Chains A and B, each alone.
Chain A
Amino acid sequence: MSRRYNLPQATLALVIALFLLVFLVVPVFTVMFVAFTNSDGSLTFAHFRSFFQLTLMREAFYNSLYVGGMSVVVSSIFALPLAYFTARFQFRGAMLIQTLGVLPLIMPPFVGATAMQLLFGRSGSLNLILGDWFDLNLPLMEGLNAVIFVEALHYFPFILLNLTVALNNIDSAMEESAQNLGASGFRLFRRIVFPLALPGYMAGAALVFLKVFDDVATPLVLNVTDILAAQAYFRITSIGIDDPIGYVASVIMVIASMAALWGSTWVMRGKDYATLQRGGSSLATRKLGPWQALFAYGWIVLVLLLVLSPHLGLVLLSFSKMWSFTVIPEAYTLDNYAAVFRDSPFMLWNSLLYCGIAAGLDVAIGTAIAYLMLRTNLPGRRLLDFIASAAVAIPGVVLGIGYLRTFRGFDLPFTDLPFVSFWMIIAFAFTVRRLPYALRSCVASLQQLHPSMEEAAENLGASNRRTIFRIVVPLMAGGILAGFVTSFLTAAVEISATLMLVSATSDAPASYGIYLYMQSIVGRGPGAALGVITVLLVGLGTYASHRIMRARSLRFETLQLLK
């Protein structure tokens, strides 16, 4: 294939660049600009000084870092033993752990937070039981602990999945040669296995930190307001779009996210060597000893119970008439579901529409960038990839604030409607926020495709365009579908940017509806019901796409053969 580019490709790149410029680069830079300038446009650090002079802001800053860091620690405590068991021992829990890993991702933390409060709070089910039996009260859901506990429980799968993949990719010859040279037991693990798996762990840990830092809804549902995301949200929504403190908080959030991301890649630069050689096999698995088995299964059961608790709690809550100061609800009803079906089916439709648009745009842009980057020599192709990927480090609240500020004063063409209150802006926010994941999926699937597949088509008479549609896209279909599904499902539970951008309840997606319901005691029941419905739909979607992709991957085994 001649690595050149043609006019249609250059035009496509320009359109994508324009989209990213308008909906990502300009909004983010607008936020930075406001944080660093006076009202007359001159450069200043005064806003930062006044930010750090406010006790509340200083606390919010430390609290955010503390919650992010501790969530990584607690997530690691959940994930490390599980990853180790699956990689090192023959045991029946591997499948269970995989499922365990996906389960919390289907439900965002803020949805289950209220249920967790009822289960693990000061007068929640667990502490009621512990109090009766042992006169004990665990402060699991007190203040920041609550946020850390709930976030860790939902996001530890990022570490688990990444680490498991990394461990499985270690060639058994690595371990065997260490044993051959005299290493064994814990020393073998510490000196060989763990360093080789470290890149996987770091990737997962960075992702957990980003997610927690980004989350504004969970702390709010749990009544924790002294963290950065919540403060940025409050400043803009209550004091106003011109208050610089909200922008300073935003800039600090972006810097912290970038630092976490950059830090994890910096620590690991040039160290991603845990790849399975051709014909190699994974680490040898051993039989569990009786004590190991007891510990392993015990740990799994404990984590499983914790993982399922927000789901169970949510279901209980959705059917409850009244639930307070009792282990389980005292009276049950279907009224909550009736209320949801009466008041808010439109929210589910909105979700479907926004997420459909976002996921469609994401895979279209992702496929285009992947092709431009890997198959042409178009100038600036790497920049396009970098910008699209950088969206991962922009917290939703920041993006939302950026949109509100950048597009204020713009009206929708041919109407008097302000652009910021147009529903499409929510869909565009979803598109930008989920693009990095869809893009990686598309890039990975095109990388697997040997260029000779396309050259063969050109050699037999298919033009560039025909080759793309007859060979490239069909062979990338698995990756494109995976990208679509990831984008769609994760957009369905997006809340940070949504919270900033919903201007009329009639435009709200389901995730916003859940949040809104959860704000009041009487709304908890219907909120839980809407949560259950959303989680069920998302779960069904995940399951269906898994089935489709498994069927496809069986058919395309040759792709791997040809690598």
Chain B
Amino acid sequence: MAKVKVEFQDIALAFGKTEVLRNIDLAIEPGEFFALLGPSGSGKSTLLRVIAGFARPQSGRVLVDGEDISAVPPWKRDIGMVFQNYALWPHMTVHDNVAFGLEERRLPRDEVKRKVAAALDLVGLTELAARRPSQLSGGQQQRVALARTIAIEPKVLLLDEPLSNLDAKLRVHMRVELLALQRKLGVTTIFVTHDQEEALSISDRVAVLEAGVIQQIGTPIELFDRPANRFIANFVGTINLFAGTLSAGAGAMLFESEALGTITLPGIPAVSPGEVEIAFRPHVVALSDPGAPVERGLIRLGGRVAAREFLGEFIRYTVESGDAEIIADQAHYTGARSFAPGEAVQLAIQPQQMRVLAR
């Protein structure tokens, strides 16, 4: 399959007075596995439907392989979409569902037959070709939907929350399979999800949407390590956020806040002095008994354990330090020191792990 580039240029879309998408500029590289991540109502599904031709933006252009497809009707776009509810037609067998798009393309009968067989083979459903959708499990239905879409060899593959209707175990299994299939076909794939774990685990790059605006585009690691703003920081993973003032000190920046006191930050952050927020992940906080030796250069705070949650791989502590509540994740292994609610503790954080966000 030829790999194709997808570009959005200044897309804006509103349903009546509700603005759904604003100033969307985005380029998805050929062969990329790209995720649109955002909470419900963020406009991510609408953006997907813009590519498929089911939603019409009031302004802006969509380019597929350099060609403007804004005026092309959905049935002439050659862009395959897998629907969230699969949208399998109950009056047709699995075989007929998969054959539909090929028949609409007026392919000779034996070619239809061959391609249906190939698509079903690819998703491992050859034996179930004569069944009806109602006789299949959720996972099997999803494979049929996938086979039906890739049978037409689309230029771009769109997946609308493809894993949301599956149970937790199957979801993890299917996302690995989905990625393997995409790599095999090499087709540019755009994938909508509200589940950040899903987006981060399999995508090459992710665009995070909120209120119809793209907040950040980047690789999963970039999003996690360098969130562009408060929304991204909160939405991708768990984070501690404190408001305060940033000022220049002697050879370093000083962050002052009521909750945490004064913290010295090494290096020059990208944010100019003034009102800012400081952010750090729970797992970069190390807990120890008060007075235990701490490496030089670490930020040190005292506090008391307010609550704890045992989550298997780690224990999540909520520590009260002055007026602040700090979340600290401590790796758990047999024999690890654990702290009980009410116990006094010492917190240590590497200053390099602190992110400064403009407010």
Contacts and interface: CB of A to CB of B under 8 A. Distances in A.
Question: How many B residues are at the interface, by size bracket?
Answer: 20 to 34
B101 A460 contact: yes
A1 B85 contact: no
B87 A456 contact: yes
B90 A471 contact: no
B100 A562 contact: no
A548 to B, nearest CB: 15
Contacts of A462: 75, 100-101, 104
Contacts of B75: 458-464, 466-467
Interface residues of A, number: 29
A455 B81 CA distance: 9
A557 interface: yes
Contact of B90 (A1, A464, A475): A475
Interface stretch (B52-60, B119-127, B287-295, B306-314): B52-60
A463 B77 CA distance: 11
Contacts of A475: 89-91
A464 B78 CA distance: 15
B21 interface: no
Interface in A449-476: 450, 452-453, 455-464, 466-467, 470-471, 474-475
Nearest to A563: B85
B45 to A, nearest CB: 11
B184 interface: no
A456 B91 CA distance: 14
Interface in A437-495: 450, 452-453, 455-464, 466-467, 470-471, 474-475, 477
Interface in B150-175: 152
- Most chain-B CB neighbours within 10 Å: which of A453, A464, A477, A556? A453
Contacts of B81: 455-456, 459
Given A459-B79, A460-B149, A461-B104, A453 B87 contact: yes
B17 interface: no
Contact of A461 (B55, B76, B85, B132): B76
A461 to B, nearest CB: 4
Given A2-B74, A555-B132, A460 B100 contact: yes
Contacts of B152: 460-461
Given A460-B100, A461-B76, A461-B152, A450 B56 contact: no
B85 A452 contact: yes
Contact of A459 (B80, B91, B134): B80
B83 A456 contact: yes
B261 interface: no
A470 B80 CA distance: 19
A438 B73 CA distance: 33
A46 interface: no
B43 interface: no
Interface in A1-56: 1-2
A561 interface: yes
- Most chain-B CB neighbours within 10 Å: which of A457, A459, A470, A558? A459
- Most chain-B CB neighbours within 10 Å: which of A461, A474, A475, A555? A461
A338 interface: no
A562 B78 CA distance: 25
Interface in B73-112: 73-81, 83-85, 87-91, 100-101, 104-105
A229 to B, nearest CB: 45
12 contacts: A2-B53, A2-B55, A452-B84, A457-B104, A458-B53, A459-B77, A460-B148, A463-B75, A475-B91, A556-B134, A558-B90, A562-B87
Interface of B: 52-56, 73-81, 83-85, 87-91, 100-101, 104-105, 132-134, 148-149, 152
Given A460-B101, A555-B91, 12 more contacts: A1-B54, A2-B74, A450-B87, A453-B87, A456-B148, A458-B53, A460-B149, A460-B152, A461-B105, A462-B100, A462-B101, A462-B104
For the complex of A and B, list the 10 residue pairs with the smallest distance between their C-beta atoms, beginning with the closest: A460-B101, A452-B87, A461-B104, A456-B87, A558-B90, A558-B134, A458-B74, A452-B83, A459-B81, A462-B104
Interface of A: 1-2, 450, 452-453, 455-464, 466-467, 470-471, 474-475, 477, 555-559, 561-562
